[in-house]
Amino acid sequence: MTADFADLGVPAPIVEALAADGKTAAFPIQEKTLPDSLTGRDVLGRGKTGSGKTLAFSIPMVTRLAALGVKRAPGRPTGLVLAPTRELATQISVALKPMAEAMGLRVTTVFGGVKQAGQERALRGGVDIVVACPGRLEDLMSQRIVSLDDVAVTVLDEADHMADLGFLPGVTRILNATPKGGQRMLFSATLDNGVDKLVKRFLDRPVTHSLEEATSPVEKMTHHVFEVRSAAEKNDLVQELASGTGRRILFMRTKHQAKKLAKKLTAAGIPAVDLHGNLSQNQRDRNLASFSAPDGARVLVATDVAARGVHVDGVELVVHVDPPAEHKAFLHRSGRTARAGSAGDVVTVCLPEQRADLRKMLRAADITVTPQQVTASSGAVGELVGERAPYREPAPAPAPQQQQPRKRSGGQAGSGRGGARGGRGSGGGRGSAGGRGARGGRRSEGGESSQRVHTSASAAPGSSGRSSQPRSEGSAAPAQRRRRAARRPAGAPTAR
């Protein structure tokens, strides 16, 4: 039987904020870690994703920072959470904010791929907790926009993925900038690739908690391997797997294939959005919002960028359309379903030439599953897909904007840009007397025609006379001086 948050010593305002989000009972990892983390102990959490670890570090961080009562100062947070991806940083921030607000604390996110100005304003306005990706945080530190001198609680989430992405040198520099003696919590599925060195260097006698016991909610994940005989059968199978009513994530190896499959499914009446590294942050946010919305896209086609940090409730199926090359990526992808106590299925689609590599990868991931030879119409596929969602008409593509034909007639004084060399701007163009308006375009008594007007070299002084000979580069400066002289009021001194 799991304990209530109140029984674990969580302050009442946080308990109420959690209850408002439907969270009343602690998951096993929270029940294990909170007695230690709430008292300020360093914590090392190990195991698979999808076990409720975000709340396991968020609750003690908010509780302890509120108890410290440090006065908020511009650019000097007291809490820091480091995450490997923008998506994960955003998800953590969403989980943190209701609890932080209940305790009078402010939270902001810091990551690259977006303009820095908004993050600067938030930091200078004063925040208590910063959820950050290492790269942008180091940029802001080097610009002295943020200081970590007051940080009392630091969390490093998904440290193994930080190592995979080559972030550990930056993470080390950031942790060195935080005061010694502060509380530190580190969560990682594995301790390889240098993560163990971080633990030894920065955690002080940590309490270690494993997330891999039999009671872990992630055990509700069911694996399937569907073998097909050809690429054509694979395409049909993938479309069938995508056709159910619930949310599902389809993983591809390349950005191009992810984009292509999302378009193909949408055209077939299965609303889908893509998520990969070529998208801007606004596009990522828009696609994730569509995938999360009740009436939005029910299929997300992604590369490994989404394997970490994207948590959307109710993902019932993950499909490895292209199996990854190594087992850690397989586990991270699969962890998008069967999260926080929910059940979920994982399908790996396998072509004949992929069998040997897939067997090796599943063995490394400690996954035991019997492959099934299937087609899109097989009973095993239909049982897994369940009720098919109704066909949804694809939104019509926006009509291309027609370019307005360029006018060839001469512009008029004060009417903006006219013909090929017509009047320009809001003021009068250059007249025969050489005058120029407020934004002086050129004209010849009401605007030049589409043909260039050439006056003779013997034009009267002060006129807009122009030689009929083409201007050379060497004549540009004298011509500019003549135009300035024409604009200078009579009697004005000449600068030398």
pLDDT at 491: 53
Is the torsion defined by CA of 416, 421, 422, 428 positive or negative? positive
Full-model pTM: 0.64
Instruction: Report helix, strand or coil for 279.
Output: coil
For the record, the structure tokens of 160 come out as: 């193994």
For the record, the structure tokens of 184 come out as: 């530190």
* Complete DSSP assignment for 431-445: -TT----TT--B-SS
- What is the rounded distance in angstroms from the CA atom of residue 239 to the CA atom of residue 271? 11
- What is the rounded distance in angstroms from the CA atom of residue 31 to the CA atom of residue 464? 86
The domain locations on the chain are 5-210, 221-385
Please indicate whether the domains covering 5-210 and 221-385 agree at the CATH topology level.
yes
Instruction: Find all residues with CB under 8 Å of 231, minimum gap 6, and list them.
Output: 351
pLDDT at 460: 42
- SS3 of 281-330: the string is HHHHHHHHHHHHCCCCCCEEEECHHHCCCCCCCCEEEEEECCCCCCHHHH
- What is the rounded distance in angstroms from the CA atom of residue 80 to the CA atom of residue 119? 15
Task: State which CATH number among 3.10.129.10, 3.90.1150.10, 3.40.50.960, 3.40.50.300 fits the domain covering 221-385.
Answer: 3.40.50.300
- What is the rounded distance in angstroms from the CA atom of residue 45 to the CA atom of residue 203? 12
pLDDT at 307: 63
Within 10 angstroms of residue 457's Cβ, the number of other Cβ atoms is 10
pLDDT at 425: 45
Instruction: Find all residues with CB under 8 Å of 465, minimum gap 6, and list them.
Output: 455, 456, 457, 458, 459
Beta strands in 206-314 (DSSP E): 207-210, 221-227, 247-251, 272-275, 299-302
pLDDT at 427: 46
- What is the rounded distance in angstroms from the CA atom of residue 446 to the CA atom of residue 442? 9
Dihedrals φ, ψ of 221, to 5°?
A: -85, 130
- Per CATH, the number for 5-210 is 3.40.50.300
Dihedrals φ, ψ of 473, to 5°?
A: -60, -35
Q: Which parts of the chain have pLDDT scores under 50? A: 213-218, 411-476, 495-496
Instruction: Find all residues with CB under 8 Å of 8, minimum gap 6, and list them.
Output: 26, 30, 31, 34, 35, 38
Dihedrals φ, ψ of 365, to 5°?
A: -85, 0
Sheet holding 183-188, edge to edge: 107-110, 129-132, 79-82, 153-156, 183-188, 43-46, 207-210
Where would I find the H helices in 38-103? 53-68, 86-102
Report in angstroms the alpha-carbon separations of 269 from 43, 224, 377, 391.
Answer: 48, 26, 18, 5
Where would I find the H helices in 148-254? 159-164, 168-176, 195-202, 231-241
Instruction: Report helix, strand or coil for 90.
Output: helix
186 beta partners: 44, 156
